[in-house]
Amino acid sequence: MAIDETSKGMASSTDRLTARMSWQGHNNWFNMAFHNLLQTVPGTLTAAAIGVLTVAFLFFWILQKRRWNSCRSPPGPYPWPIIGNLHQLRLPAHRSLGDLAQKYGPIMFLRLGSVPTVVVSSSETAKQFLKTHDSIFTGRPLMAAGKYLGYNYKVIAMAPCGDHWRQMRKICVSELLSAKRIDSFKDVREEEVSAMISSIWEESQRGTRAVNMSKAISALANNIIWRILASRKFSDNDLGDNSKGPKDLVSEISATLGGFNIGDFIPYLDWLDLQGIKGRMKKAGRRFDAFAEKLIDDHIDHRRAAKTLNGQGDAEAEPVKDLVDVLLDMAEADKSETKITREKIKAIVLDIFGGGAAGTFTTIEWAMSELLRHPHTMKRLQEEIESVIGKHLKVNESDLVSMKYLQCVVKETLRLYPAGPLTLPRESVEAVTIAGYYIPKKTLLMVNLWAIGRDPNLWGADASEFKPERFMKEQYIDLIGQSDFKMLPFGAGRRGCPGYPMAIPIVELALAQLLHVFDWRVEGDPSQLDMKEACGASMPRQVPLSSSPSLRLPTCYCA
């Protein structure tokens, strides 16, 4: 019984055990599984965690890389503290920047003192900056020249982007430099070019062997621009002070403009005016202002006198209005807040004189220099001019359209010698990413027009040679970056030069008459003519050009 009971008990306990065991077996399996899991989970979890972390890392890395990429500066030489890359700039700056671009590429970043600067040196990249993103680069940096010479940034070429610049530029383009207005000064251009030919003829008749061509061409450019602006030419006594006169004033303005004011780049040295440039600018600015004031007063007196005569019925036929008169008319007619003030008129006078005279002068000077070095080209040009007007007539502006080779000579000159080789400095008005490079707001932009004009990838292995023939096959060469960006002697876009339609006829007419009337020779081997560029705002020759003229027509029509 006891056994039975025991066995029962045993049985029941065995059952229970079995039952327990079966549960336990299950439990055991679970335990084992759980245990296994616990053993494997750390690995799995770790693997999962690693996976998640890797994905997250990759995700953030890609994001960060994108951000890095969008903040990536263009390549450039390492800047030194304080001076940045200033020590790497030699003069003339367009050449040393061209050399640096060979190493760092067509979009290069420099720090000039503390000023972040981007230098663009290829046609393709210039297009991105001056066409695709033109609206970003419409600013001009606020430099000492704009303050002391440019009527506190009122001069168009130095004004920051804003309502004032827009208003002044509109006046310039639509009122002062419109096709109709430029055409109205045709007689001025023809008279002044003939006057230059006469003076060269007289000088050669006096037995002068070599004529100072640079002086003659500079006088031509100044006289034309002043007659267009103010209906008169200026002698050296016209300033009425003890200085040498307007020509001296203009050279002083160009020298200070072309000079490199260290205070613009290292602002905390600005007050020291280490080079004395600011002092010179202030003085030249005051002298120009006195000169411009007198110019406007004379115009106002003259207009009053003309009105009185008109009232008495003695009026002469309406003369061609000069640009100061056009501006005074506008000022009298406009009563709005943005009306043209006296200060704005003075600023525009400086703009047109500063931009116009220097650009046209240097272009004619370099064209003559290259023609002297290339007698065959000079001969071919003379033959073309003669084929159009013969040997007895004077070249007039209406003849120029038939002189295709002359146009090629001018284009070739502008390609090799752009008068503003680095454009005028521009400034980004907001941040932008171009070609994967981040360009912050207030970055200075220089476009190396000189390097683009000599780029062998665009112009071939003979890019540095003077060969006007290269343009003969082309129907139309865009000089202002409207359709292509192969050459940009006048810059491009909203800040591009508004004066090119005035400059081209002066350059073409002057060259046509100089070569039609005279043969030109230089002492020694022409191929050895000194072609060094001076450092200045408009890249003139370093050494004035001298050449001996001999009459090639039966008589000089200017004699």
- The footprint of ligand HEM (CB under 6 A) covers 156-157, 169, 177, 351-352, 355-356, 359-360, 363, 418-420, 423-424, 426, 489-492, 495-499, 502-503
3-state secondary structure 365-419: HHHHHHHHHCHHHHHHHHHHHHHHHCCCCCCCHHHHHHCHHHHHHHHHHHHHCCC
Could you tell me the two tokens for 324? 């100061």
CB of 472 to ligand HEM, least distance (A): 21
Residue 24 to residue 17: CA distance in whole angstroms? 9
CB of 496 to ligand HEM, least distance (A): 5
With beta carbons less than 8 A apart as the criterion, state whether 373 and 526 touch.
yes
**H helices within 107-240, ranges in order?**
123-127, 144-148, 163-170, 179-184, 186-205, 213-230
CB of 165 to ligand HEM, least distance (A): 7
Nearer residue to ligand HEM within complex by CB, 224 or 266: 224
CB of 489 to ligand HEM, least distance (A): 5
Angle at alpha carbon of residue 53, lines to 51 and 55, rounded to 5°: 70
CB of 350 to ligand HEM, least distance (A): 9
CA-based nearest residue to 446, from 423, 429, 430, 428: 423
Q: Is 172 marked within a binding site?
A: no
Write out the H or E segment, with its range, that includes residue 8: helix 2-70
CB of 207 to ligand HEM, least distance (A): 34
Nearer residue to ligand HEM within complex by CB, 503 or 510: 503
Nearer residue to ligand HEM within complex by CB, 414 or 556: 414
Q: What is the DSSP string of 327-364?
A: HHHHHHH--STTPPPHHHHHHHHHHHHHHHHHHHHHHH
Give the bridge partners for 298, in sequence order: none
Length of the chain measured in residues: 559
Give the amino acid at 196: M
Nearer residue to ligand HEM within complex by CB, 155 or 266: 155
Nearer residue to ligand HEM within complex by CB, 210 or 535: 535
Nearer residue to ligand HEM within complex by CB, 201 or 417: 417
With beta carbons less than 8 A apart as the criterion, state whether 505 and 189 touch.
yes
Could you tell me the two tokens for 79? 């800047």
**H helices within 231-322, ranges in order?**
246-258, 277-311
CB of 511 to ligand HEM, least distance (A): 12
Give the bridge partners for 110, in sequence order: 117
Sheet holding 107-112, edge to edge: 107-112, 115-120, 444-447, 426-427
CB of 494 to ligand HEM, least distance (A): 7
With beta carbons less than 8 A apart as the criterion, state whether 442 and 428 touch.
yes
With beta carbons less than 8 A apart as the criterion, state whether 496 and 480 touch.
yes
**Number of Cβ within a 10 Å radius of residue 249:** 22
Nearer residue to ligand HEM within complex by CB, 170 or 441: 170
CA-based nearest residue to 440, from 450, 429, 456: 429
CB of 269 to ligand HEM, least distance (A): 27
Residue 233 to residue 214: CA distance in whole angstroms? 18
Q: State the sign of the Cα–Cα–Cα–Cα dihedral 266, 271, 273, 278.
A: positive
Could you tell me the two tokens for 161? 């982007």
Nearer residue to ligand HEM within complex by CB, 381 or 503: 503
CB of 527 to ligand HEM, least distance (A): 26
Nearer residue to ligand HEM within complex by CB, 416 or 522: 416
Nearer residue to ligand HEM within complex by CB, 452 or 529: 452
Binding-site annotation: residue ranges for heme: 497
Binding-site annotation: residue ranges: 497
